[in-house]
């Protein structure tokens, strides 16, 4: 059985946001307000993955840093333990998923998630989604949504949409149980590190830190 994880190299992320666009379309995320002239005003609060962009450093060492964030598919997910309906669950191969039919939108999971990786899907989002995505739109009711590592793609032997579209090849996806997998090797070597490991969630998203290499 595979144990999936993602490694993100902060050295090669160029902040193009292709991952965000690919994820939105692949997973039919909310598009925000659709104007009469078909102009779309994207709802920037409702991404499954988001690339933070900030300037860091002082003096001559000021530079931009791009920091992609998403659900960390934790081995010990606090979002699952607080879910009153069992809508949030974890598969044997490491996906933390949401059963939309069981989700009642209470957002207990969103409050419990230390990575702020949950998205509230409203009735307005569903209505606009039907208009934008057409007959292929799959959502029927409000729920709390999140990154699924594109499990529907992975089960077909494909990469997650964000990995597939990353122009800098900064996102890598692989199997931690396969010692020959480059992702497993980067994690085992310590080159890739998880976010906030001290809180005990045992996340499965790892980062190669550009500041570490600078030092």
97-127, pLDDT tens digit by residue?
A: 999 999 999 999 999 999 999 999 999 999 9
Please tell me the distance from the alpha carbon of residue 199 to that of residue 177, in angstroms, as a whole number.
23
Predicted local confidence at residue 55, as pLDDT: 82
> In the predicted model, what is the mean pLDDT of residues 80-93?
96
Predicted local confidence at residue 117, as pLDDT: 95
Predicted local confidence at residue 212, as pLDDT: 46
Please tell me the distance from the alpha carbon of residue 195 to that of residue 77, in angstroms, as a whole number.
14
- Burial class (CB within 10 angstroms; exposed 0-12, middle 13-18, buried 19+) of 112: middle
Tokens of 162: 């964000």
Residue pLDDT, tens place only, 8-55: 999 999 999 999 999 999 999 997 655 555 555 555 578 999 999 888
Mean of all residue pLDDT scores within the chain? 90
Nearest to 33 by CA among 21, 41, 25, 24: 41
Predicted local confidence at residue 215, as pLDDT: 37
CA 193 to chain centre: 17
Predicted local confidence at residue 32, as pLDDT: 63
Please tell me the distance from the alpha carbon of residue 25 to that of residue 188, in angstroms, as a whole number.
33
Predicted local confidence at residue 137, as pLDDT: 95
Residue pLDDT, tens place only, 166-178: 999 999 999 999 9
> In the predicted model, what is the mean pLDDT of residues 46-72?
88
């Amino acid at each position: 059985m595979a144990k999936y994880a993602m490694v993100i190299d902060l050295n090669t992320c160029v902040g193009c946001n292709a991952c965000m666009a690919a994820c939105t379309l692949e997973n039919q995320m909310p598009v925000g307000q659709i104007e009469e002239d078909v102009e779309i005003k994207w709802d920037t609060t409702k991404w499954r993955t988001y690339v933070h962009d900030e300037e860091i450093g002082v003096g001559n060492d000021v530079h931009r840093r791009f920091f992609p964030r998403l659900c960390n598919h934790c081995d010990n997910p606090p979002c699952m333990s607080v879910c009153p309906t069992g809508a949030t669950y974890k598969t044997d191969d490491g996906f933390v998923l949401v059963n939309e039919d069981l989700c009642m939108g209470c957002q207990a999971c969103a409050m419990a998630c230390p990575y702020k990786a949950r998205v509230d899907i409203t009735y307005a989002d569903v209505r606009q989604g039907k208009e934008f995505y057409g007959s292929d739109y799959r959502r029927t009711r409000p729920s709390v949504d999140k990154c699924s590592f594109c499990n529907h793609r992975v089960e077909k032997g494909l990469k997650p949409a964000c990995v597939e579209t990353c122009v800098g090849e900064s996102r890598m996806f692989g199997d931690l149980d396969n010692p020959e997998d480059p992702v497993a090797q980067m994690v085992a070597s310590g080159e890739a590190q998880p976010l906030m490991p001290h809180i005990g969630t045992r996340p499965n998203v790892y980062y190669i830190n550009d500041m570490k290499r600078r030092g």
